[in-house]
Structure 1
Amino acid sequence: MSESKLPLTEEAIQREKLSSDFVNLRDDFSKFSEECAFLFDAFSAVGREPECITEHTSEGTRHLCYWLKYQVIGYREKIEEMQESWRALSRKQ
């Protein structure tokens, strides 16, 4: 016996999209956190050997800190957008 599928409502489509966005964000954040763990280990190692801090090391550290800052800002903005989308869906019910 075959089941006929009813067309999805606009809300169901939005929920599916939000769910997919959440999975993608979780995956991206997981990769980001792995990169952060590696960088923090590297920063810690450099901090234990201050004599190895060259101009290039210092510039690389500055660049990575800048990158980290804006990655975190991006994740915060994505989370806030998803929360607002979820709230909007919840208000429709």
Structure 2
Amino acid sequence: MSDLVSISQEVLLEYEAKRSKLAGESLDLCDDFGKFSEECAFLFDAFAAVAREPECITPDTIEGIRHINFWLKYQVIGYREKIDNIHAGLRALKLKPQE
């Protein structure tokens, strides 16, 4: 408890601002991922429908699937980077008593 007493108000305010920013980023990321998840569910249903009727696979269908796969790959990479950034921010967010 004495460690908290030796932390200045300015440091506490800065800490709270960073914590609040990370919390906001985390909530935004959760909302974005929820929308992404819904889009993925739709796409997976579409892929399953195409697989059930392989005769409908045209060069345009193949190009569309390739494009969607590319988009999915980079969406997942983007989410991983955002998660890593939030985790790094949380790891760095530590209160340290003043000397």
Fold match by TM threshold 0.5? yes
Larger gyration radius, structure 1 or structure 2: 2
Larger RCO (CA under 8 A, 6+ residues apart): 2
- Off by >3 Å, runs of 4+ in structure 1: none
Unmatched segments (≥5 aa) in structure 2: 1-8
Q: Classify the secondary structure of the residue corresponding to 1:58.
A: helix
- Corresponding residue of 2:5: none
Shift of 1:85: 0.2
For the residues of structure 2 that align with 1:50 and 1:24, how far apart are their CA atoms? Answer: 39
Shift of 1:46: 0.1
- Corresponding residue of 2:47: 43
2:41 aligned partner, one-letter code: A
Q: What TM-score do you get using the length of structure 1 for normalisation?
A: 0.89
1:75 has 2:86 as partner = no
- Corresponding residue of 1:64: 68
For the residues of structure 2 that align with 1:10 and 1:54, how far apart are their CA atoms? Answer: 57
- Corresponding residue of 1:20: 24
Query: Structure 1, residues 55-91: CA drift from partner, whole Å, max 9, x if none?
Result: 100000000000000000000000000000000003x
Q: What TM-score do you get using the length of structure 2 for normalisation?
A: 0.83
Percent of aligned pairs with the same amino acid: 60
